[in-house]
Structure formats: C-alpha cells, structure tokens
Amino acid sequence: MKIKALGAVGTVTGSCFRLEMAGGAKVLLDCGMFQGGRQTELRNFDARPYEPAALNALVLTHAHIDHSGLVPRLVKTGYGGPVFATPATCDLLKILWLDAAHIQEHEAVWKSRKNRRQGRRDVEPLFTEEDARRAMTRLTPLDFNVDREIVPGLILRLTPAGHILGAAGAHFTALENGRQVRVAFSGDLGRTSQFLMPPPAPLPPAETIFLETTYGNRRHKDLNVSVEELLAAIDSAWRGKGKIIIPAFAVERTQELLMVLARAWHEERLPRDLPVILDSPLAAAALGIYSDHRRLFDQDSQTFLNQWTDGEILPTLRLTKNAEESQALNGIPGSALIIAGSGMANAGRILHHLKHNLWRPNCHVVFVGFQAQGTTGRRLVEGGKMVKIFREAVRVEARIHTIGGFSGHADQAELLAWLGCQIKPGLTVNLVHGEPASTRDFHDLAQAAFPEASFHIPQWLGYAALSGDKDPPDLKAETSPEVPAVNQALSASFLNRLDRLRDRAPAAGTLPPDQLALLEKYLEQAESLLLTGSIV
Ligand code: ZN
C-alpha cells in the first residue's frame, strides 16, 4: 500500500489522503475543502489530483467542511462510489453540503456580475445544490466499532474521536501479498474534557498512524475558567442592559454553548429574564440532529438532558425563523444574548448584529473560537478600534472577550497523551493537519518523548511514510509541483499586498472607480500569470 497526501499537510484545511492498494484499488480518506487565502483555495478547482473516476471508495471522518466539503465536487467530476461515514456524520453532511452549495452558487453569481461589468467570463460555482444532492445519494452509514470490508481486501473500522457529533478515527486493515498492513488515522481529535462529546477512544493497534497537529504547539485554557469568563461577560452586559453577541460555528460550538447556558440556567447563574436567541438556521438544523443522536453524548450530558423535556432544557431559548425575525432583533430593547454565524464574523447574520451594536459601550462581543488572519473576528480580537462591515466603517466601543477554552481539538498535552497509548517500537507516525510551525514543534517534542517510534511530516502531493518502508519520505518544504516555489512565495506576498490595497483604496477614496477597476484587472492578470503561468 501507498498513501498520498492530497491535503491537510502544511495547513489545517483540505484534509485528504489516498490509500493506493497493491492490487490497484484506490480509497480516499476525507475530501475537504481548502480554506483561507485565494492561492490555497485555487486547489479546490483542480480535481485531477483526486482522480475521481478511478476511486473505489471514500471514507469521511467527520462532517466539517475542511474534511468533507469537496465531495459534491468529486461526484460532479466523476466519482460514483460509496461514501462511508457514521450515521450522525451522514445526517450533518446533508445540511452542511446544501449550505456550502448555496454559498458557492452565491459567490459565483456575485463574481460573474463583477466580471461582466469588466467584459470578462462568467464564473462557474465549485458545485451546485444539485451536485450536493447527488453526493447525498452516495452516503453509506457505518456505525462505530463495526468492521466492514469496503473494497476487496480492505477492512474499515470507525472509532469515536470526540471533536464533534459523529466524528471518527479511521482504522484500515489490508491483506497484501500475504502480509497484514494496518494503518490508522486520528481524524480531528477531541479533548479529554469537552462539553458534549466523550473523550476520543484509542485506535485499534496499527503499525502506521496519521495524527492531526492543529494545536501541536499550544495548550488550551481550562474549561471551567472559560465558563466562568463567559458567565461574567453575560452578567456584565445584562447589568448594563446591553447585548451579548457571540459569533459561533453552527456545528458543535453552538450546541456546546447552549449546553453551558442550559446548565447555568438550572443552577440559577443565568439571568431569568435574559432572552437567548439562536439566529442561525444552519445551527438550528444542526441542533435537531444533535438531539436525534443524543446517545453519542457523554454520560454526564445525557443524564442532565434526560431530566427535562425539550422546552425545559433552556426555557429562555428562542430560534429565529426567517430573515425578518433576524432583522427585528436590532429593535428589541434591553439585554439579550444573540448567537449567530459565521464563527469568524466574516459573513452571515452576525455582521448585521455587529454593525448595529459594536459602537455601543454596553455591548459585549464574546469570541469562543479560532479567528483566522484577515477576518473581521481577528481584527476585533486584536483590538481594532474601527472595522469595516458591509463597506461601512464602524467604531468599536463594545467590550471584546476572547474565551479560549472552548476548542474541539486536543491540545499539545492531550495529543501527546493520546499518542502515548498507541506507541510501540517500530511505529511510524505521520504528522498532518497543522500549520507548519505547529507540526514541526510537535514533531521535535514527540520524537524526543517517544524515541522508539519514527515521526514524519508528509508534503503536499507527496507519499506518506509507512511502517516497513525502506526509504521513507521525510521533512521537506511544501512546494507545489505545478508551480515553481519562487512563484508561490512571490504570489503569496503579492496577494497579501493586493488584499491590503483593495481594503484601503475604496475607503480612503484615493482612486476613482474606473481607475480602481483597471488596477484590479491588471492585478488579477498578474496574479493569474504568477499562479498558472498564463493570463485567464
Ligand atoms: Zn474538524
């Protein structure tokens, strides 16, 4: 067997590995969307490395878009086999793929309109709602801890990984030339104590492991401290009659927050007259799926929930039904807690709430998740005094809180502890799914802690190290084979400067619109030349 890394190496997005069996069968583990920066996102449009028509099976560890988001694209470009995932993951995918398709279609319309004004071609969406619905017909549920032969000679077992509802680690056993090959993927690994999910289970024995390293160089704050910080911020806003605004991811983070608030309500630590408003159709749909799969929660959460009827769990919870109800929230007097997406405040309904409240000193904005570079969320947590929302500058007078303990990923200590249960002499470990600094730090730490195992960092489109390899691939700089490294570096700094220019020019009014359009056209041509070698 050989395993090729098609994503989530040198980055945390685009998770995808291809198992290539000696007999010729090919199986994909995860097929995630690349996110964060146009250069990275261009990879989403090139289906060739995935060889969709040549694949025999696809396995998904969990429903997050950076692990599953390219499946509709894969089906669109020729994949017709089964997609194995746990039943809860299958249910979540049905709403997440549709949501992703609508975003892709919307973006394509918006870009095409812009292009037409400049006499350029229309943009095709990455995939459409129809592609998403076709992908759903391929879903094949597989329960945790059940062995299933997914292609002749290859047995799959999914094990609980914590992280989010339905998330799994994937263990493969292959029989090749009379020899057993066992390979295990951690998937995204949850924390030892999370709010809803039990801790990740150890994987069955394997000679080769793939381990995520999102937080390979960081430790999380204590969970209980984070809850206290959240309740203190809520209390302070409530006393000042201000709004509490929480940008939150629709799956897991929102449901965890509601669980924390429900417990606080029953412990009489949440104001009785404070409305809690979930203003996200996607998060509300996910809430229903969480409720359907409650038996996957940890025992403590199940015991708590089983005491109440649905309406009693958090009596002050309200779900908005449509955009009108969402807009009406701007007019409600007094204090209210509003949870809305997106989690990084770069799109979605949260932008309206921020625009209407950021300038109010009695408003509190609480960030409970990672904020990527370039997002409105990142500018706020870094203390920006002015942010642009819908092309309008908004002064920041609100109190901004960053609460770090709500992560769904194991931190450095938890990764090491989990690995410690799997370690044996001769084990080969591939470190993936991390920013380069995080993965490298964890590599050095883990190699020193477990000298009996060998640690490797695969490169993008390269082959991973497998136990028994005579000449394992090793630490190499990540370069794309299609684009020379010098162009990659050049274009990265070029794209950053272009983004800064785009941000500044219209606000300052330094350029008339026609000149700005001309400048954009030249810059895009230069960008295309750098990235693809030709002007599109
Ligand atoms: Zn994930």
What's the CATH code of the domain at 191? 3.60.15.10
| CA 396 to ligand 1 center in whole angstroms | 31
What pLDDT score does 412 carry? 95
Whether 57 and 157 map to the same domain: the answer is yes
| CA 195 to ligand 1 center in whole angstroms | 16
Is residue 476 one of the residues assigned to a domain? Answer: no
CATH code at position 353:
3.40.50.10890
Tokens representing 409 are: 């990923």
For residue 432, list its beta bridge partners.
212
Strands 26-29 and 16-20: antiparallel
pTM of the model: 0.85
Average pLDDT taken over every residue of the chain: 89
| CA 516 to ligand 1 center in whole angstroms | 39
What pLDDT score does 498 carry? 63
| CA 62 to ligand 1 center in whole angstroms | 7
| CA 415 to ligand 1 center in whole angstroms | 15
What pLDDT score does 111 carry? 87
What pLDDT score does 482 carry? 43
Is residue 475 one of the residues assigned to a domain? Answer: no
Whether 150 and 242 map to the same domain: the answer is no
Among the three residues 456, 477, 496, which one is the final residue of a domain in this structure? 456
Is residue 361 one of the residues assigned to a domain? Answer: yes
Is residue 9 one of the residues assigned to a domain? Answer: yes
Among the three residues 386, 406, 426, which one is the final residue of a domain in this structure? 406
| CA 149 to ligand 1 center in whole angstroms | 25
For 13-64, give the DSSP string: SS-EEEEE-TTS-EEEE--PPP-SSHHHHGGGG--GGG-GGG--EEE-S---
Tokens representing 182 are: 């066992």
The beta strand positions in 327-442, using DSSP E, are: 336-340, 364-367, 386-389, 392-395, 399-402, 428-432
| CA 240 to ligand 1 center in whole angstroms | 36
| CA 468 to ligand 1 center in whole angstroms | 30
| CA 163 to ligand 1 center in whole angstroms | 7
* Long-range contact set of residues 12-17: C-beta below 8 Å, sequence gap at least 24: 12/66, 12/214, 12/433, 12/434, 12/435, 13/40, 13/66, 14/40, 14/43, 14/44, 14/66, 14/70, 15/61, 15/66, 15/67, 15/432, 15/433, 16/50, 16/70, 17/185, 17/210, 17/432, 17/464
| CA 338 to ligand 1 center in whole angstroms | 24
Domain of residue 524: give its range.
488-532
Whether 114 and 237 map to the same domain: the answer is no
Q: What values do phi and psi take at 477, rounded to 5?
A: -65, 145
Whether 172 and 199 map to the same domain: the answer is yes
pLDDT of the chain along its 536 residues, tens only?
999 999 998 888 899 999 999 999 999 999 999 887 777 788 898 888 899 999 999 999 999 999 999 999 999 999 999 999 999 999 999 999 999 999 999 989 988 998 888 788 888 999 999 999 999 999 999 999 999 999 999 999 999 999 999 999 999 999 988 899 999 999 999 999 889 999 999 999 999 999 999 999 999 888 899 999 999 999 999 999 999 999 999 999 999 999 999 999 999 999 999 999 999 999 999 999 999 999 999 999 999 999 999 999 999 999 998 999 999 998 899 999 999 988 889 888 999 999 999 999 999 999 998 787 778 998 999 999 999 998 899 999 999 999 988 888 999 999 999 999 999 999 999 999 998 999 999 999 999 999 999 999 999 999 999 998 766 554 443 434 444 444 555 555 666 666 666 555 554 456 666 776 677 677 766 766 665 555 54
| CA 32 to ligand 1 center in whole angstroms | 10
Whether 132 and 189 map to the same domain: the answer is yes
Is residue 121 one of the residues assigned to a domain? Answer: yes
| CA 14 to ligand 1 center in whole angstroms | 11
Whether 271 and 322 map to the same domain: the answer is yes
| CA 172 to ligand 1 center in whole angstroms | 20
Whether 7 and 130 map to the same domain: the answer is yes
What pLDDT score does 504 carry? 57
| CA 307 to ligand 1 center in whole angstroms | 30
Whether 433 and 396 map to the same domain: the answer is no
What pLDDT score does 494 carry? 63
| CA 188 to ligand 1 center in whole angstroms | 5
| CA 405 to ligand 1 center in whole angstroms | 16
Tokens representing 298 are: 């940890």
Tens of pLDDT, residues 43-100: 898 888 899 999 999 999 999 999 999 999 999 999 999 999 999 999 999 999 999 9
What pLDDT score does 263 carry? 97
Tell me, what amino acid is at 93? L
Tell me, what amino acid is at 77? T
Whether residue 342 is preceded by a cis peptide bond, meaning omega within 30 degrees of 0, is yes
Whether 104 and 120 map to the same domain: the answer is yes
What pLDDT score does 513 carry? 66
| CA 411 to ligand 1 center in whole angstroms | 14
| CA 41 to ligand 1 center in whole angstroms | 18
| CA 408 to ligand 1 center in whole angstroms | 8
Whether 430 and 288 map to the same domain: the answer is no
What pLDDT score does 475 carry? 41
Whether 205 and 249 map to the same domain: the answer is no
Whether 395 and 495 map to the same domain: the answer is no
Domain count, the chain: 3
| CA 77 to ligand 1 center in whole angstroms | 25
| CA 490 to ligand 1 center in whole angstroms | 31
Is residue 483 one of the residues assigned to a domain? Answer: no
| CA 34 to ligand 1 center in whole angstroms | 13
Give the list of residues 6+ apart from residue 306 with CB closer than 8 angstroms, or none. none
| CA 12 to ligand 1 center in whole angstroms | 9
